[in-house]
Each structure stands twice: as structure tokens, then as C-alpha cells.
Amino acid sequence: MIYLDNAATTWPKPKEVAEAVAACIEAVPGTPGRGSHQGARQAARIVFEAREEIAALFDVDDATRIAFCGNATQALNTALFGLLQPGDVVLTSSWEHNAVVRPLHVLEQKGVVIRKIPPSQEGPLDLRALEAALPGAKALVLTHASNVTGAILPIREAAALAARHGCLVLVDAAQTAGVEEIQASWGLHVIAFAGHKGLLGPQGTGGLYVAPQVSVKPLIFGGTGSRSEEREQPSFYPDCLESGTLNTPGLAGLLAGVRFVRATGVEKIRCRESGLAEKLRAALRDMQGISMKGEKQGQLQTAVLSFTVEGMDSNLAALWLEEKAGIICRAGLHCAPWAHEALGTLETGTIRLSPGYFNTDAEIEAAIKAVQQLTQGF
């Protein structure tokens, strides 16, 4: 098996991740904030250290501004519903995942105004159109990179423009945390992240960073292990956004994953993954019958690429790659219909390949040969 679906979830994980999860389950008899006994203290230490590592990755001084939840989708919903009110104007891009599109659709029905900023000829976001649209906007909501094409949006430049108009900036870093540099100091007020992708942690982990000057209303209310005598939800971070029992074993794995990322270096990981992806792109561009999607000269991209095969259903092509060549990839719309509207592939979908840090050059060569065979009618 050759796994090329790291945009969905990274695999394999560093061995330390599974070891940390198992050790937590076997040796930590408690949950964070629920009591003062040894097991509760052990669990709290794991969560504290995971918070510290994520904060360091995003160059955040106060780790209490990192709140954990089950995934990036929950984090994005928490931020969007916790920040926006009827009448607010929200700017966003054509590349958003349904984790943003669907909450915005619900909010639009409640009176929030949604304005989509188009791509430019040079890249995935027209900064001139953004600048013109910013006056009066409450928030700018952007994915850091498309999960369909890998195109990296210029969030740093966009945040600088937003700052001139007092506009909040919320970034979906599900595709980039751990594989691309991202810093809160760029003017980012909220960063939502997935634990199981570039951060190399287990599924069921994620969270968000909230800047000190921003207050996000809770999406879920309940027990936090603090201020239990009060009916009101605690107002301080991270407790206000962390009702219910945290996934301590998952966060133990996330802690191990982020430590691996930071010890290895985000730049080293990025270079390795980008090199593998560029080998794929270079080979596929020259193949007859292959149509690469979302590529533009000079555009920055993550290790994600999409293509279609002339005369072939994308889902059937992906099935053939798995059954005949052992290539694991994803086909379809990738939970990002706006991106496929922009690419003109809403009806056909695409085949997506996304190599990861642990893929080998030999695996990439095998994948290239398999796609070549696919284009030649098997």
C-alpha cells in the first residue's frame, strides 16, 4: 500500500504518538481539572504541555489562549458562531472547506452578510478586491491553503490589509499547521487547527487560538472543572471554550506529534513534502489525458495536487489506483464545493494526491507509473 491521502489525515504517525496514547490510557487514571488526585494531576500536565507546544508552534506567548476541542470543524464553528451577529459583514475566499461554508450558510440565514473574494490571475485571492471590500467588514475568514489544490493563500498580506480597517482575521489552518509557517503575530485573531493532519496527532483532536483582544462566546456550555458553584460559564480562557471531558489520550498523542514536528523543523517537513509533490506534478503535467487543476505560475502550494483523467470518472480512477496499484488517494469534491466551482470541476470532482513526510521517493515513482498506466487504458 502507498498512502497518498495525507490531506485527509496523515499516516503513518511517528511511533511516539501511538506510544503516548497507549501510555496515557494505561497509566493515567484521571481527567484534567476533575479532582486533585494524582491521576487528575497527570492528565492536567499532559494537556498543559500540549497547550504549551501548540502555543510555541504559533509563536503565542500565553498558552491559555489555546483551547482544545475534537477537530478543526468544531473549532471553526465555535469561532464563527461565537464572533458573528446578524448584520455583520464577513469576507471569505473561494477555497473554503465545508467546515467554513456550511456554518457561514447558517449564519447568512440569520442575517450575517457573506461576501466572497474571488481569485486573481496570479493566485487564489485577489488582494485588490479584498482591499476594496474591507471597509465595514467585521471578519475575514480564510483557509491558509486549499485542501483541493494545495494553493496557499496570502494570509499575512491579507491580515495586514484587514488591520487597516479593524477587521478580525480568522484562519483555517487545518491544511497547514505543522507543514507551513504560521504565526499569530501576523495579525491573526483566531487560528483553527486540526490535530491529526500536519501536527501528526491522532484523530479526534483539534482546537483554536484566540487572541487576547478577542472574545469568542462558547458554543457548548457545561462542566469545566472550574467555578463549579456558579451557573454562568467561566469567562476566562481556556475554560470558557472547553466544557466537558477533554480527550486526554488523544492530546497525549498530539503532544508527541507536535514535539516531533518542532524537533524535526517545520521547514524541513515542508521541503520534504513539497519535493515529493513537485515530482508528482512535473510528471503528471506531461502525461497525455491528464488535466492538472488549480496550478498557476509562481503560486505557492502545499503538497496537495488535483487532476482529472480525460474520459474517466474520478471516483472510478481512484478505485482503480487502489485496487490495481495499491495507491490510496481521494476522489470527489473533498468537502470543498466552492473550490470545485472555481476550478470548473463541480460535476466531475478531481483525483487528489497528497504525499506526506514519511513517503519515499520510490513510492512517488510507483504512483507516477500507476497514473501513466491509468491514462493508457490500464
* Average pLDDT of the chain, as a whole number: 95
Task: Quickly state the pLDDT bin for 34 (edges 50, 70, 90).
Answer: confident
Write down the pLDDT at residue 231. Answer: 84
Helix (H) or strand (E) holding 89: strand 89-93
| C-alpha distances in Å from residue 31, one per residue of 38, 172, 240 | 10, 29, 17
Mention every residue, 6+ apart, whose C-beta is less than 8 A from residue 158: 125, 127, 130, 140, 142, 169
What is the residue type of 80? L
User: What are the cell numbers at 199?
Assistant: 501536527
pLDDT band, residue 378 (cuts 50/70/90): low
Query: What pLDDT digit, counting tens, does each position of 75-91 carry?
Result: 999 999 999 999 999 99
Report d(CA 193, CA 97) in Å as an integer: 13
pLDDT at 295 over 90: no
This prediction's pTM:
0.96
Q: Where are the alpha helices (DSSP H) in 28-182?
A: 38-57, 72-83, 98-109, 127-133, 155-163
Residue with cell 494505561: 26
Looking at residue 228, its pLDDT comes to: 74
Distance of CA 79 to the CA centre of its chain: 14
pLDDT digits (tens, 9 = 90+) for 214-242: 999 999 998 777 777 778 888 879 999 99
Strand order in the sheet with 330-332: 290-293, 305-309, 350-353, 330-332
With 70 as the cut, is the pLDDT of residue 276 above it?
yes
Percent of the chain with pLDDT over 70: 100
Report the residue count for the chain. 378
The domains of the chain, with CATH numbers, are: 15-264 (3.40.640.10), 266-375 (3.90.1150.10)
Cell (9 digits) for 365: 515513482
CA 354 to chain centre: 14
Measured in whole angstroms, the distance separating CA 190 from the mean position of its chain's CA atoms is 13
207-211, 219-223, 285-289: least confident range: 219-223
| 136-152 per-position pLDDT tens digit | 999 999 999 999 999 99
- First and final CA of the chain: distance in angstroms? 19
CB 176 within 8 A of CB 198: yes
290, β-bridge pairs: 309
Pair type for strands 89-93 and 139-143: parallel
Of 230 and 195, the structure prediction assigns the larger pLDDT to 195
Which of these, 191, 189, 102, 105, lies nearest to 143 by C-alpha position? 191
In degrees and rounded to multiples of 5, residue 291 shows phi and psi of: -120, 110
Q: Give the C-alpha separation, 318 to 332, whole Å.
A: 9
Nearest by Cα to 117 from 137, 105, 104, 133: 133
- Classified as helix, coil or strand, 330 is strand
Please state, in angstroms and rounded to a whole number, the distance separating the CA atoms of residues 312 and 202.
34
